[in-house]
Amino acid sequence: MDYFAGLLINGILVGAVYSMVALGFVLIYKASRVLNFAQGELLMIGAYFCLELVVRLEVGILSAFILTLVLMSVMAVLIERLILRKMMNAPVISVVMVTIGLGIMLRSVVLLFWGPITIHFPEFIADVPFDLGFVRVSVIYIYGFLICIAFMVIFGLFFRYTRTGLVMRGAASSQMAARSVGVPLHMVFALAWVVAAIVSAAGGVITGNIAGLTPELSAYGVRVFPAVILGGLDSIVGTTIAGVLIGVMEELGGGYLRDWTGLSGLGPVVPFFVLIIVLWIRPHGLMGTKEIERL
């Protein structure tokens, strides 16, 4: 029972990061109906930005974290303004291919400047286990979980109570209606990219502090994708819940499959099997909107 509880707690902590990164997928999709396949690379490059600020410029971790979010916001605006805005009327598949190409470019930049090796952040806090009574959890996981929850709450309040957030929600519901009342859709798209870059960078810094920095961090975009589809491409709440479920499934599946088969690294495969089963039953995801087209 303690083994199960340990896997469950770790799954929830990891799933919180998945939920935050998946939020970026959903926001861009809701704003522009385009899947951003460079989301994992945004996570990766944000983590490396923070590392450079801490190691080379000797900036404090909190200041470096904030500066990283600012730099990623500027980068997101430039990507939207210089690349994606010119493709607003292009076929969706063309825009998707551009995001794939963008991801390859960002990964190449990381390999060029930092190489394929694993780099670790300096130790900012003592990595002592936190005793929950029935299981011990690394304090870094606890801090990461709290940061993720804080970001989710902040953006939840932003979309619910601020004028800009309400405009973004309205544009996501109906671009035609938003355009008819004078909403500048290009600003909505830019803000969606900014938020996606911020949550990805935050997730990258948290993950980098836990496991170290490597170009393989970009794979988080693929690992988060089942949460996006499972929760529903247009459902922020559904994606948040699904992110935690994916984290739990990875930990439980990886732990028990390792015990049964003696093979490690099988955890990330489990959510894809579950995703296939769920999509057989609910093709639009757990909480996604079922679109009905009338002729």
pLDDT tens sequence across 111-145: 999 888 888 888 776 667 777 666 677 788 888 88
Instruction: Please tell me the distance from the alpha carbon of residue 173 to that of residue 155, in angstroms, as a whole number.
Output: 18
- CA distance readout (Å), 184 to 20, 31, 57, 176, 196: 26, 12, 38, 11, 19
Over residues 181-214, the pLDDT tens digits come to 777 777 888 888 898 899 889 888 888 888 788 8
Q: For residue 284, give the 3-state DSSP assignment.
A: coil
Instruction: Please tell me the distance from the alpha carbon of residue 280 to that of residue 273, in angstroms, as a whole number.
Output: 11
Q: Alpha helix locations (H) across 82-125?
A: 92-113
Average pLDDT, the chain: 82
Residue 99 and residue 38 in contact, taking contact as beta carbons nearer than 8 Å: yes
The pTM for the full model equals 0.84
**Residue 138: in which H helix or E strand, if any?**
strand 136-138
Q: What percent of the chain has pLDDT above 70?
A: 91
Q: So where are the chain's domains?
A: 2-15+33-218
- Region 217-240 average pLDDT: 81
- Region 216-238 average pLDDT: 81
Instruction: Please tell me the distance from the alpha carbon of residue 268 to that of residue 254, in angstroms, as a whole number.
Output: 7
Residue 164 and residue 178 in contact, taking contact as beta carbons nearer than 8 Å: no
Q: Alpha helix locations (H) across 84-215?
A: 92-113, 139-161, 163-173, 175-180, 185-211
The pLDDT score that the predictor gives to residue 177 is 75
Confidence of residue 87 (pLDDT cuts 50, 70, 90): confident
Q: Which residues are CB-contacts of 291 (< 8 A; sequence separation ≥ 6)?
A: 284
**Count of beta carbons in the 10 Å neighbourhood of residue 252:** 17
Confidence of residue 295 (pLDDT cuts 50, 70, 90): very low
Residue 38 and residue 27 in contact, taking contact as beta carbons nearer than 8 Å: no
